[in-house]
Structure 1
Amino acid sequence: MAEKILVTGASGFLGAWVVRELYERGVPFVLFDRDPELRRLDDLLPERPLDIPVETGDIADLDTVLDVTRKHEPTAVIHLAALQMPFCRPNPMLGARVNVLGTLTVFEAARQLHSIEKIVYASSAAVIGPEQFYGGKSVANDAPLAPATHYGVFKQANEGAARVYFQDHGVSSIGLRPWTVYGLGRDQGLTSDATRAIKAALLGREYTIRYSGRNALQFAGDVAAAFVECALDRRQVQKVFNLRGRVVEMQDFIAELDRRLPGAADRIRLSGGPIPVACDLDDTEFRAFLPNWRETPLDEGVDRTFADFRRLQQAGKLSVADLEE
């Protein structure tokens, strides 16, 4: 059967990058989201075809997900539909409905409809505890989990559900645990501050990053490629992989911006303590699984993000709403 990928959460930040990756590889895809507005994809892929198939609906409604999968018969699902941490914190009931029940519907659809050969889903580094929990050591894939937020607990539940669906029903899946993903379109969540700082530096604005300490930064194009390569891989497995990223002190990240735009270090500041999640993740198993996957160096990723923002700025399409929240 020819490959066709269903992308849930396609209107989101990472969803848009995944869709661009699929488009550039020539892989057929179908988009699913409750929000039919694809502004992030428009920014990333302004030349996109207007006839891209888009299905709208509630990811937590099994009948809806079954209808979409029966209609399009995808061979794999890249499941990114979720509520971010700031939205789960004040409303954990809604967060659980979208993030946990919404994930279960995708797995249940795969169980019932055998055209789906694999699910690649977004877990998160939020399942990991603080650095002191691991004694300062690098955190392996199978290290004990200690999420400190509802969002992290929901992601941990999904990893467990994936294991049981494989154990009981043979549903193949790969979960990926990104840390701080940066790039054009990242405008929600605490760790979006790195991307917002790049935009603020370009515009000569003041901006305060709401955390300090070490952070693992990952360019969005790399993470999107990881999801797509896992979805196209034909091995029937149940895996969860850390994605380590470039571990840097946030003050050094600001210095990286200042090297490109002198004076940025005077306008971009840090506030608050470190994010309570270990960032020294061991991704040896992931790199062994996909040995051809490549990671963009931080300086190159920052340059590409500056270039994306500058392109939108020159076209009069660069939104600054996220800098004014």
Structure 2
Amino acid sequence: MPKSKDRILVTGASGFLGAWVVRELIRREVPCVLFDRDPELRRLDDLVPGRPDHIPVETGDISDLDTVLDVVRRHKPNAVIHLAALQIPFCRPNPMNGARVNVLGTLAVFEAARQLESIRQIVYASSAAVIGPEEYYQGKTVTDDSPLAPATHYGVFKQANEGAARIYFQDHGISSIGLRPWTVYGLGRDQGVTSDATRAIKAALLGRPYTLRYSGRNALQYARDVAAAFVLCALDSRQVGKTFNLRGDVIEMADFIRTLEELLPQSKGLIQLSGGPIPVACDLDDAELRRFLPALPRTSIAQGIEQTLADFRRLQQEGRLSTHDLENS
């Protein structure tokens, strides 16, 4: 029997972060309902072999309010972890569709909370993409309340969601917590520019050359830590209307490669860098989040790479390690 009395709806459950969040909920024995346009849960099956088959899976369009209302009415979740979104490579060529999914989809979740009574907390994925480049902040650490300067449609959509969340709290008392991940890495990260760190780990294990599309400083966050942050926020009953930075380990990508080579000496020279830094400041202050949730875990770069290598090795031994992300990068 589940230990928790909570029931959490996870949107975007078939995605990378969604799979890690569901894994964390299963580990904590928290009942959950999975929602996604795509009923295929490959990433979750890779993370949780033999996952429980009693977990409800709903399919539908997150931007369709009637669909979201129907799911919430039937399952009565008391919290939502909202991760459904299109990433930068999909928003750039089609910003209209990006806005439909990323903005209208988020509004549908908040509207469901406004119209129905079961939801007490929404935890939604914002992004470090709302933040401007390093030079915009003139060497200062970026706090939760620093000015935002997104450089992509994706970042603008996430900024709009932060604003909408603030207004829903102001006007309707809808409690929400937004989290701003930076580069999240780990098993299942196979889309988006910042997936290159995970792809590099996989390529190194397979003995393949791989060139990351960026260089310079980056803020790396292990997926298990980020998933735990979302789950801990969802289980928190305090009424808030706040967006928090999630600080990763700020590291030069050349040092990331060196750490990978130390853990996997046979990969030396295989992984290279190209291009310049990603135009988003890395030095984020997450002190407020750590005061809010002191128990947040933090995995070191070396530990995270080591665990990711172990996950890839397991899939390789099982004959299930996909290389499509290396071939299509």
TM-score (norm 2): 0.98
Residues 5 and 30 in structure 2, CA contact (< 8 A), matched pair in contact too: no
- Distance in 1 of aligned mates of 2:269 and 2:296: 36
Task: Name the residue aligned to 1:229.
Answer: 232
Give the partner amino acid of 2:76: E
How far is the alpha carbon of 1:74 from its aligned partner? 0.1
The one of 96, 106, 109 aligned to 2:109: 106
How far is the alpha carbon of 1:2 from its aligned partner? 2.7
How far is the alpha carbon of 1:241 from its aligned partner? 0.3
Give the partner amino acid of 2:146: A
Residues 120 and 231 in structure 1, CA contact (< 8 A), matched pair in contact too: yes
Task: Name the residue aligned to 1:192.
Answer: 195
How far is the alpha carbon of 1:273 from its aligned partner? 0.3
Task: Name the residue aligned to 2:284.
Answer: 281
Task: Name the residue aligned to 2:72.
Answer: 69
Alignment of 1:17-28 (within 5 A): 17-28=20-31
How far is the alpha carbon of 1:263 from its aligned partner? 4.1
- Distance in 2 of aligned mates of 1:119 and 1:8: 11
Give the partner amino acid of 1:219: Y
Residues 111 and 169 in structure 1, CA contact (< 8 A), matched pair in contact too: yes
Q: CA RMSD in A?
A: 0.8
The one of 167, 170, 174 aligned to 2:170: 167
Shift >4 Å, 4+ stretches: none
Task: Name the residue aligned to 1:180.
Answer: 183
The one of 37, 42, 55 aligned to 1:34: 37
Percent identity reads 77
How far is the alpha carbon of 1:261 from its aligned partner? 1.5
Alignment of 1:32-181 (within 5 A): 32-181=35-184
Residues 73 and 116 in structure 1, CA contact (< 8 A), matched pair in contact too: yes
Task: Name the residue aligned to 1:254.
Answer: 257
Q: Secondary structure at the match of 1:266?
A: coil
- Distance in 2 of aligned mates of 1:297 and 1:305: 12
Give the partner amino acid of 1:234: S
Q: Cα deviations across residues 29-70 of structure 1 (Å, max 9, x unaligned)?
A: 000000000000000001201232000000000000000000
Residues 10 and 16 in structure 1, CA contact (< 8 A), matched pair in contact too: yes
Q: Cα deviations across residues 252-294 of structure 1 (Å, max 9, x unaligned)?
A: 0000111012242311000100000000000000100001112
TM-score (norm 1): 0.99
Residues 254 and 264 in structure 1, CA contact (< 8 A), matched pair in contact too: no
Q: Cα deviations across residues 72-122 of structure 1 (Å, max 9, x unaligned)?
A: 000000000000110000000000000000000000000001110010000
Q: Cα deviations across residues 13-35 of structure 1 (Å, max 9, x unaligned)?
A: 00000000000000000000000
Instruction: Count residues in correspondence.
Output: 325
Shifted more, 290-299 versus 9-18: the winner is: 290-299
Q: What 5-or-longer segments of structure 2 have no aligned partner?
A: none
